[in-house]
Amino acid sequence: MSLPKQVRLVEVGPRDGLQNEKQPISVADKVRLVDDLTAAGLSYVEVGSFVSPKWVPQMAGSADVFAQIQQKAGVTYAALAPNLKGFEDALAAGVKEVAVFAAASEAFSQKNINCSISESLQRFVPVMDAAKQHGIRVRGYVSCVLGCPYDGDVAPEQVAAVSRELFAMGCYEVSLGDTIGTGTAGATRTLFDVVGRDIPRDKLAGHFHDTYGQAMANIYASLLEGISVFDSSVAGLGGCPYAKGASGNVASEDVVYLLNGLGIHTGIDLDLLIQAGSRICEVLGKANGSRVAKAKLASA
């Protein structure tokens, strides 16, 4: 199969990247990060989450972040909504696109959203109805698609079953999350092969955490399977609070570098993206998790 000519990156740094940070991060710093990312040409940014602040305290200020970002035409600013309450809060904050999130493993579903997979899918039905009524698009996530921190191996057929449900209830795209980063390129190809039997490949996305250093290989494997949407996090920030040891998503800078090398268009300015990543790393007092950013900054 030939590689896609164009790829859309879903920047999840402000949400997946920051949700796991223990130190308080000001609304102003979060706003600056989102605005820096769109200045670099990102056309889709996951800004925050409307989840329980008891579960994920760092995302508590998401409505304030939405109120203060400079919303640019042509950019999608999205948020996670785990249930109708989250959807209603997102709506009140002026959010135009939300994402619901399910898991392919029962144990992760319980730990992350306190219910079974089938209960979670039932919870999403009123969210889908309300979203339709308000003209809001809904993206779907499936976590633990290549392994679960509690249940171990996850069969691609199980991922396909949950993805099918999300797609059937109206999610316009389903993002498959390797939450703990254990997947390898062969397993990734098999996964998209199996899930792609039920859902068109242009409605699927890849969401790779880089815990085992496999994310770039998995993205390349996904490209070979005709996948053209990838979630990534500036400076490789992040992790999931309910997946111990999970490191950040693949760094956006590294994905842009890979795609530039393949002649695949993203519309993203790599230098500005590197600046955005450096700035948030300074705020967090963290080392930059992007290999490309580190190399370019060292040689500047």
The residues assigned a catalytic role are 240
Interaction of residue 173 with Mg ion, rule CB under 5 A: no
| Least distance CB 154 / ligand HMG (angstroms) | 11
Where in 128-147 is the site for ligand HMG (CB under 6 A)?
Answer: 141, 143
How buried is 6 (Cβ within 10 angstroms: 0-12 exposed, 13-18 middle, 19+ buried)? exposed
Interaction of residue 11 with Mg ion, rule CB under 5 A: no
Closer by beta carbon to Mg ion, 92 or else 191: 191
One symbol per residue from 16 to 55: x for binding Mg ion (CB under 5 A), - otherwise; what is it? Answer: x---------------------------------------
How buried is 73 (Cβ within 10 angstroms: 0-12 exposed, 13-18 middle, 19+ buried)? exposed
Where in 18-47 is the site for ligand HMG (CB under 6 A)?
Answer: 19
Helix residue ranges per DSSP H, 52-196: 62-68, 84-92, 106-113, 117-133, 156-168, 185-195
Strands, E assignment, the chain = 8-11, 44-49, 76-80, 97-103, 137-143, 173-178, 204-208, 229-232
Where on the phi/psi map is residue 271: left (φ > 0), alpha (ψ -120 to 50), or beta?
Answer: alpha
Q: Return phi, psi of residue 213, to 5°.
A: 70, 20
Interaction of residue 49 with ligand HMG, rule CB under 6 A: yes
Return the range that interacts with ligand HMG (CB under 6 A); candidates 36-44, 106-114, 149-157, 272-280.
Answer: 106-114
106-121 burial by CB neighbour count: b if 16+ within 10 A, else e? Answer: bebbbbbbebebeebb
Single residue of 7, 104, 128, 240 touching ligand HMG by CB under 6 A: 240
Where in 63-92 is the site for ligand HMG (CB under 6 A)?
Answer: 80, 82-83, 85-86, 89
Return the range that interacts with Mg ion (CB under 5 A); candidates 14-22, 188-196, 255-263, 265-273.
Answer: 14-22
By rule CB under 6 A, what count of residues binds ligand HMG? 27
Return the range that interacts with ligand HMG (CB under 6 A); candidates 31-39, 220-228, 238-246, 275-283.
Answer: 238-246
Q: Return phi, psi of residue 217, to 5°.
A: -65, -40
30's enclosing H/E stretch is helix 27-39
Q: Which does 230 bind (CB under 5 to 8 A by kind): Mg ion, ligand HMG, none?
A: none
| Least distance CB 99 / ligand HMG (angstroms) | 7
Interaction of residue 207 with ligand HMG, rule CB under 6 A: yes
Q: Which does 222 bind (CB under 5 to 8 A by kind): ligand HMG, Mg ion, none?
A: none
- Of 243, 246, 212, give the one whose Cα is nearest residue 107: 243
Rounded Cα distance, 198 and 178, in Å:
19
Contacting residues toward ligand HMG, per CB under 6 A: 16, 19, 49-52, 55-56, 80, 82-83, 85-86, 89, 101, 112-114, 141, 143, 177, 179, 207, 209, 240-242
